Structure 1
Amino acid sequence: MSDALEYNALPQRERRPKRMRAPTADKPAAATVQSANENLSSQPDLRDNYEYKDHTADIQIHSWGQTLEEAFEGAAIGMFNYMVPLEGVTVDDSLEKLYEVSAHDMESLLFAFLDELLFVFSTEYFLCRDIRIQSFDRDSWTIKCLGRGENYDRSKHEQGTEVKAITYSAMQIHEGKDGAEIFVIVDI
């Protein structure tokens, strides 16, 4: 990221479990890790273009990407991963959801995008491990995206921290020639 986008970060609280790495020939892995990696081998890689920043009573998601679309996707995956660690979530090709949101400016578009994903999770228990924006229209302020994942199952998925709402508080969206980054606070 550009030096112009520097900020004073609060101490970071890492909620995301460490990613399992695929075994290599010179480093054999334990059988349980190997079998877990085999199950995830056809799964999309978890994005690592986000991090969590402590906030007084909430959590701030900081995401980035080469494009604003990638930063939006990173913020969404960061939100899902905070609620349920996504390493245990698989992508079932039969479970896809198309999301479409519209707004009146960039900040309200980010709010509407994350709020719609949170609403569907809260009502249908659908977890997105992979989110791909298919259309990002800055003239009509609309986003269409495809979310892929599976339904939340208490016996299978580790429970994270409940996200109650998306906020406009201290929301920042930066876009430049070196990429884009987003800061959004979610109420926990």
Structure 2
Amino acid sequence: MENFKDSELQLAPCKYEYLDHTADVQIHSWGNTLKEAFEQCGVAMFGYMTELPYVEIKQSAIIEAEGHDLESLLFHFLDELLFLFSCEPNLICSKLDIQEFVTEGEELRIKCKCYGEEFMIGKHPQGTEVKAITYSAMQIVNEPDTKKFELFVIIDI
């Protein structure tokens, strides 16, 4: 993990929302590109766990995910982010930068640099624990007329 003393990185604008769902929560994210929609979905998951304005950029980590189609790629991407938070040092991220995004061919893959800091109760307001990512009602929507990509993912809380 790389350490940061000063936050020189600009946070991306918020392009996600939380939708009501029976016993779980649905993340709806969007972007001008599919890559941006994936980044926003990951940030939204972290935002459900704490209030992101309290998260400083002090460390970074790299995660990688693979999938056989876009839905499995999204699932494994979010699962790797959840694993990053669940293991020491419990990195909570307020910025994601997908550096490699291969969405064509047989092996789809993502390499993402994650920026944030160790989650600390007292500093970071405790949101809701995310237990798992699900495939249930997962959607990846490309609207060519609006040049907008949308993702819908239900997370188990």
> TM-score when scaled to structure 1?
0.75
| Deviating 4+ runs (over 4 angstroms) | 40-43
Q: Is 1:153 equivalent to 2:130 in the alignment?
A: no
Deviation at 1:43, TM superposition (A): 5.0
1:181 — aligned with what? 150
Which of 137, 159, 163 pairs up with 2:102? 137
Which of 78, 81, 88 pairs up with 2:44? 78
1:25-64 residue pairs with structure 2 within 5 A? 42-64=8-30
Q: List per-residue Cα deviations over 1:98-143 (Å, max 9, x = no partner).
A: 1111111110000000000001101121011100111111222100
Point out the structure with the larger helix share: 1
Q: Is 1:162 equivalent to 2:129 in the alignment?
A: yes
State whether residues 7 and 57 of structure 2, in contact with CA within 8 Å, keep that contact through their aligned partners in structure 1.
Answer: no
Deviation at 1:41, TM superposition (A): 7.5
Deviation at 1:145, TM superposition (A): 0.7
Unaligned runs of 5+ in 2: 1-5
* Greater Cα shift, 79-88 or 43-52: 43-52
Indicate the SS of the match to 1:184: strand
Deviation at 1:45, TM superposition (A): 2.6
State whether residues 50 and 78 of structure 1, in contact with CA within 8 Å, keep that contact through their aligned partners in structure 2.
Answer: yes
State whether residues 43 and 90 of structure 1, in contact with CA within 8 Å, keep that contact through their aligned partners in structure 2.
Answer: no
CA distance, structure 2, for counterparts of residue 113 and residue 42 of structure 1: 25
Q: List per-residue Cα deviations over 1:32-66 (Å, max 9, x = no partner).
A: xxxxxxxx974523531000001001000000000
Indicate the SS of the match to 1:87: helix
Q: Name which structure has the greater RCO, CA cutoff 8 Å, separation 6+.
A: 2
Unaligned runs of 5+ in 1: 1-39
State whether residues 47 and 77 of structure 1, in contact with CA within 8 Å, keep that contact through their aligned partners in structure 2.
Answer: no
* Greater Cα shift, 156-165 or 44-53: 44-53
CA distance, structure 2, for counterparts of residue 164 and residue 71 of structure 1: 22
Percent identity, please: 52
1:96 — aligned with what? 60
Which of 105, 112, 127 pairs up with 2:69? 105
- Cα distance 1:46–1:84, how it changes in 2: closer, same or farther (>3 A)? farther
Deviation at 1:175, TM superposition (A): 1.6
CA distance, structure 2, for counterparts of residue 168 and residue 174 of structure 1: 15
Indicate the SS of the match to 1:77: helix
1:11-26 residue pairs with structure 2 within 5 A? none
CA distance, structure 1, for counterparts of residue 120 and residue 76 of structure 2: 26
State whether residues 103 and 112 of structure 1, in contact with CA within 8 Å, keep that contact through their aligned partners in structure 2.
Answer: yes
CA distance, structure 2, for counterparts of residue 152 and residue 47 of structure 1: 22
CA distance, structure 2, for counterparts of residue 100 and residue 117 of structure 1: 9
